[in-house]
Chain A
């Protein structure tokens, strides 16, 4: 009972900590994007000064910076990210609402795939430590980590779409066929990471005293792994997966470009290049909140997985 009470208290404290973190993030990004040279309405076709003035007035860019800042804070309180400067027919909220489900699907599936395949490979390698199985799987994992996805993606497209014609070369319509290649591309390096992490921590756990005890009791190796080794071995994997998930489900610029997927990832780059202040702010705040949320979930999972961690001061 004490234990659960501690977690709740910890959760409340963490949530309180979110506010100053977010305020700091908003403030830094708000001023940083405006410090960058050039503005949202600069283009090769120079605008007559009157029109420039009209545009700035329309988006309140003519106000003093500090006034814009407080105006923005006021908007954020009601979760209104404002209109996009670049995509004029859409608000930032709409762009995020359209893009996030796509990124969440691709990133989420990639994460699940990476977790399942990665831990399986990792456990297998750990159990067959220093055998050819171990060396070859870890060799592949190293390859997976070191080949960048902008190389893997075009290769996959060439093989499976252009030559074989089994899968579409890109685009997005929520069909499974169009998800296969991007999900695999995104998952590949993750599988490799997860496999290496799992292997490492599994080997460590397998050498610890309580496992030796379990074995001494005569338990079959399978049961030892499943019942006793798995949970503690997953700890480093879980702490890696939290922030990695936030990164994956907010979209990957590279994957979105190469597979022409309308996710969130590109907005981080195009928003900045276009000086689309509201869009940059919107996606950064959204990303920030996700990271905080996922780290929080990781903490809870940790407490559940590891009896050594208690968020209880009396402990």
Chain B
């Protein structure tokens, strides 16, 4: 029993797996002679989706499926670029606050009904309606009156959206929102098929009831077994869609998915078990796909309680005294990029302001950290005693442990680890009563640095740091109403610099996505959003055995 439940580190590589034929593109499309006869993709998909109601859905697993089932006014290319979806084109007014969308005339629901401007109006109104009780309606806040509608002060029909005619739609915004087109590919802005909503009410998203307007339609949903979607023949670009069926399998245990992948039962894993990177690199190098993700992993300080209230020096010392290279290489181990900032790289032209000490050697950082630590009044005789709090997870534990020991080594800090179950952790973090140093992190739903920066607005729902800086708040307000992209970018850089200089967080690394993808699956590209539409994918056929 030497391997003790582990995934067989001793396994020799299996190179008898079938290999695909060479990809052959004709005018950017795969040559039909290279395609597998059966175009059925099997995707592992994280935990069981909570719902397939686009306006109630939250969490990554359901959003993957909803992107196949539905199409917003905009959608995304394989590389994540926002491109026209059900809207063929649009005009944006000079002040950046009025968007007029012209829908495709050939857009159809999966039952053949035409997709009309009214369907989008109804969808957005339903999404914002307090009666729907959407967890995700904040995404709509840039729209005029959205805040009042969400709060129940105005009826949903007062939302700033209007059908000008059957195929023309106007949306008015509160502030110019440069990332607004990107939001329109998010599930909370999807249209809804009015007759089926009227007929089935809250149960309209169940298999058998759901009528959708995307490249696929829902065929089967067996809870915690699988969700099967099938090509929607009425989809406007159905002739471009190559995969006939896609199975989504939920997994509670990633090593189960890995074994099924190895047994040839899956084409695409959701992620890979964290402790197996080295093994996977050795045995599945071509299939292991690691790519930057739009998320930051960091730890936060509770700025409302001692010892971190008035102690920028101490916080700076703690931020500098951790060796990020070491943490990413030895602890997280998946090719994560060490980070010195809040906003992850890869959002358009935005460049996070790198602090000066990012270029120093770790030795120099440690020296400076020791100086600051002493200046803050701590020493070997009078060390800082602090708790590092994290939610139950092997990885967070390892990271917290590593940080505690680096602090101990460099500064002599006495750190204790506190492990909490997720919901307890969230509650403590929010109450800011028990927390001192705590695990945090953020993965954004849309590619805009503002989604990271706004977390530190005074009184923001996720501001568990208790960060409050009137100048910073002022900057955020300016960013929200600035419509010239270059100036907005400068303001955001300014805000991030201001934030980092006050040391409310300990940046550690930028998240990566990591999965195994069968070599036969083509048509997808890495992107920081980690959005992968099945409609772009296809399966190559295998090479004849022996060749």
Contact = CB atoms under 8 A, between A and B. Distances in A.
B265 A169 contact: yes
Given A173-B225, A273-B421, A46 B430 contact: yes
Interface stretch (B85-93, B251-259, B476-484, B515-523): B251-259
B546 interface: no
A236 interface: no
A306 B527 CA distance: 70
Interface in B123-170: 130-131, 133-138, 150-152
Contacts of B250: 260
A219 B133 CA distance: 76
A48 B259 contact: no
Contact of A266 (B252, B422, B426, B428): B252
B14 to A, nearest CB: 8
Contacts of B253: 257-258, 260
A150 interface: yes
A311 interface: no
Interface string A164-185: 0100111111000000000000
A48 B52 contact: no
A258 B252 CA distance: 8
A151 B11 CA distance: 16
Contacts of B151: 48, 50
A48 B259 CA distance: 41
A165 B263 contact: yes
A88 B462 contact: no
Q: Looking at A51, A147, A275, which has the most chain B CB atoms within 10 Å of its CB?
A: A51
Interface string A120-157: 00000000000000000000000000010011001001
Most buried by B among A58, A162, A168: A162
Interface in B53-75: 53, 56, 58
A86 interface: yes
Contact of B53 (A89, A172, A275): A89
Contact of A89 (B131, B205, B424): B205
Contacts of A99: 223-224
A41 interface: yes
A51 B249 contact: no
A235 B5 CA distance: 36
A54 B130 contact: yes
Interface range, A side? 35 or more
A169 B424 contact: no
A38 to B, nearest CB: 3
Contacts of A15: none
A169 to B, nearest CB: 4
A90 to B, nearest CB: 6
Interface string B185-206: 0000000000000000001011
A45 interface: yes
Contacts of B4: 151
B393 interface: no
Given A54-B133, A273-B421, A157 B259 contact: yes
Contacts of B1: 147, 151
Given A50-B150, A89-B206, A260-B256, A38 B58 contact: no
B8 interface: yes
A168 B259 CA distance: 10
B275 interface: no
Interface string A232-260: 00000000000000000000000011111
A273 B421 CA distance: 8
A87 B51 contact: yes
B260 interface: yes
B159 to A, nearest CB: 15
A38 B424 CA distance: 6
B255 A154 contact: yes
B contact patch SS: loop
A98 interface: yes
A171 B5 contact: no
Contacts of A151: 1, 4-5
Interface string B1-26: 10011111001001000000000000
B262 interface: yes
A38 B50 CA distance: 19
B222 interface: yes
Contacts of B58: 43, 45
Interface in B225-265: 225-226, 249-253, 255-257, 259-260, 262-265
Given A42-B423, A168-B263, A273-B423, A51 B256 contact: no
B48 interface: yes
A87 B53 contact: no
Given A54-B131, A260-B249, A43 B426 contact: yes
Contacts of B205: 89
A60 to B, nearest CB: 12
Given A46-B430, A46-B462, A157-B259, A37 B424 contact: yes
B461 interface: yes
B379 interface: no
B290 to A, nearest CB: 23
B438 to A, nearest CB: 12
Contacts of B469: none
A154 B7 contact: yes
Contacts of B257: 260
Contacts of A266: 224, 252
A262 interface: yes
A170 B424 CA distance: 33
Contacts of A147: 1
Interface string A87-104: 111100011001100000
A161 interface: yes
A36 interface: yes
Given A151-B4, A266-B252, A171 B423 contact: no
B462 A45 contact: yes
19 contacts: A38-B422, A38-B424, A38-B426, A39-B423, A42-B423, A44-B462, A47-B461, A54-B133, A99-B224, A154-B8, A162-B11, A162-B262, A170-B265, A173-B225, A258-B253, A260-B253, A260-B257, A260-B260, A270-B252
Given A48-B151, A151-B5, 17 more contacts: A38-B427, A41-B135, A45-B135, A46-B430, A51-B134, A86-B50, A87-B50, A90-B223, A157-B263, A158-B259, A165-B263, A168-B263, A169-B262, A259-B256, A260-B250, A260-B252, A262-B224
